[in-house]
Amino acid sequence: MKLIDGKMVAETIKEQLKKEVIELIDKDINPHLVAILVGDDGASQTYVASKQKACQEVGILSTLYTFNSDVSEEELLNTIKFLNEDDEIHGMIVQLPLPKHINIEKVMASIAPEKDVDGFHAMNVGRMALGLPSYLPATPNGIMELIKHYKIETEGKHCVVIGRSHIVGLPMSIMMGQKNYPGNSTVTLCHSKTPDLKSVAASADILIVAIGQPEFVKADMVKEGAVVIDVGIHRIPDETKKSGFRLVGDVDFNEVSQKCSFITPVPGGVGPMTIVSLMMNTVKAASGVVY
């Protein structure tokens, strides 16, 4: 069994991005990402802070726009409009969740597709599905980079994706079936309405789990020698730890790691790749290679 070291791959990519940013700056292009944060949700603040830190590490300028949780939808839309029109801003993200009085769909649709470095805009989702240049959503893109880094064979393999969320499972399933490397897999997308999840999972050569349930995938759901990618991350109580908890994924690592050929640990697997994906998209945006 080989551990997929997301932290290491993320660092490698960051080093590459640093060079690309320097080249852009030499051409008088200063890659610039704006993050919009509404309200004072602690988790959101932490996420945005780590995105800003990553920007700093690779040399991307980052600006944070913060709003109180009672900001009007109109004010938010006006801000986005203003940022859309600013040529010196290459990427823009709106940290989710948003307060309930704000229509998320409307806000997301208002971001110019060419600045939508989260890849959530319908235009980018459509371009991804059609195999056109686009900003790939962070988690699926991070997984693709891990597969590439470890030269995992995907052509003709049966890839089973568990979970059909718009930001992970669905795009992942589309990307793995495309005429590309990584890709060319026969892809099965499973979800809450799949009755025989266990046997479908056990038929996978590549199993990508984004079901959002701690240690859901046990050894009997995994084929001997499969590649297992674990997207989940959960805190579960653990008295043996100082903090009183430990982090686990959607996969029972202790059981499953005995059986598979490759596995992503939690933490340190898929997680570190998501922010690096955002950095990749921002550099792409500044380079003008997508639009």
Judged by the rule CB under 8 A, the positions of this chain that interact with a copy of itself are: 105, 121-132, 155-156, 164, 166, 170, 173-174, 177-179, 184-191, 193-195, 200
Smallest distance, a copy of itself to C-beta of residue 113, A: 9
Which lies closer to a copy of itself via its Cβ, residue 204 or residue 286? 204
User: Does the CA dihedral 143-214-171-161 come out positive or negative?
Assistant: positive
Residue 204: closest CA among 227, 182, 183: 227
| Least distance (Å) between residue 275 CB and a copy of itself | 23
Q: Which is nearer to a copy of itself, 102 or 248 (CB)?
A: 102
Q: Least distance to a copy of itself from the beta carbon of 31, Å?
A: 24
Cis (ω within 30 of 0) for the bond into 182?
Answer: yes
How far lies 86's CA from each of 112, 190, 235, in Å?
Answer: 11, 42, 40
> From the candidates 95, 115, 230, 252, which is the catalytic residue?
95
- Identify which of residues 52 and 178 has a Cβ nearer to a copy of itself in the complex: 178
Q: Which residue has the tokens 């990519």?
A: 13
Examine the residue annotation and report whether 51 is marked as an active-site residue of this protein: yes
User: How far, in Å, are 77, 78, 95, 202 from residue 74 at the CA level?
Assistant: 5, 6, 17, 49
Closest contact distance (angstroms) between CB of 137 and a copy of itself is: 11
Of 5, 14, 116, 118, catalytic? 118
Name the residue with tokens 């979800």.
191
| Backbone conformation region of residue 59, classed left if phi is above 0, alpha if psi is from -120 to 50, else beta | left
User: Among this protein's residues, is 70 annotated catalytic?
Assistant: no
- Report the distance separating Cα 16 and Cα 23, nearest Å: 11
184/155 Cα distance (integer angstroms) = 5
Nearer to a copy of itself, 185 or 277 (CB): 185
Query: Which position among 14, 51, 157, 284 bears the catalytic label?
Result: 51
Smallest distance, a copy of itself to C-beta of residue 168, A: 13
95 is catalytic: yes
Query: Is the Cβ of residue 131 or residue 225 nearer to a copy of itself in the bound state?
Result: 131
Which active-site residues does the annotation give?
51, 95, 118
